[in-house]
Amino acid sequence: MRKIFFGVLGCLGLVSQAYALGINYGEILVENLQIGTTYNLTEIANLPLEVNNDSDEAMTIQAEPLKPDKPIAGYEAVPSVAWIKISPAKFPMQPRVKHLSDVHITIPQDRKYLGRKYQVDIFTHSAENADGMNFMSVKLGIKGRLLFTVAPVVL
């Protein structure tokens, strides 16, 4: 039993690089959005998507909106991820730096969305570099949750 334990510890010592990725969007709530309007969360709430590359390596990062597999209670999946735009969505990052991207929400001009509550997940992950190569064989990523409500009436 001791040999196996020490063998595992010895293998862990071979990993010399640290890889860590962080975002500020654990769970964000934005309320009373109007139909027919586009919102920039940096401008209306000082909430850009902040990505932290806490690793020892430079990498290319991609942030993308995803429909949640299972929305939290009281919310439904956003009808289309096209409602959410991240700018820039793909960008290079040096080690130990942070990057800010704007997140835009567009609510279509349709009264059927009045009073609804939506969830979209923001998946931020390592991406292929321009040469088509990934910096490591496993994609490094983290998901955050963006919740938003549409106002029940048009103002």
CATH for 96: 2.60.40.10
DSSP string, 17-42: ----EEES-SEEEEEEEPTTEEEEHH
15 or 68, higher pLDDT: 68
**How far is Cα 104 from Cα 102, in angstroms, rounded to an integer?**
6
- Closest Cα partner for 48 from 71, 23, 72? 23
53 or 14, higher pLDDT: 53
What total of structural domains would you count in the chain?
Answer: 1
Q: Tell me: the pLDDT tens digits for 98-152? A: 999 999 999 999 999 999 999 999 999 998 765 555 555 567 899 999 999 999 9
Q: Report yes or no on 141 lying in a domain.
A: yes
Could you tell me which residues come within 8 angstroms of residue 92 by beta carbon, excluding any fewer than 6 positions away?
A: 58, 59, 60, 61, 129
Q: Tell me: the pLDDT tens digits for 15-60? A: 445 678 899 999 999 999 999 999 999 999 999 999 999 988 899 9
32 or 4, higher pLDDT: 32
Q: Report yes or no on 2 lying in a domain.
A: no
Domain containing residue 67 = 17-150
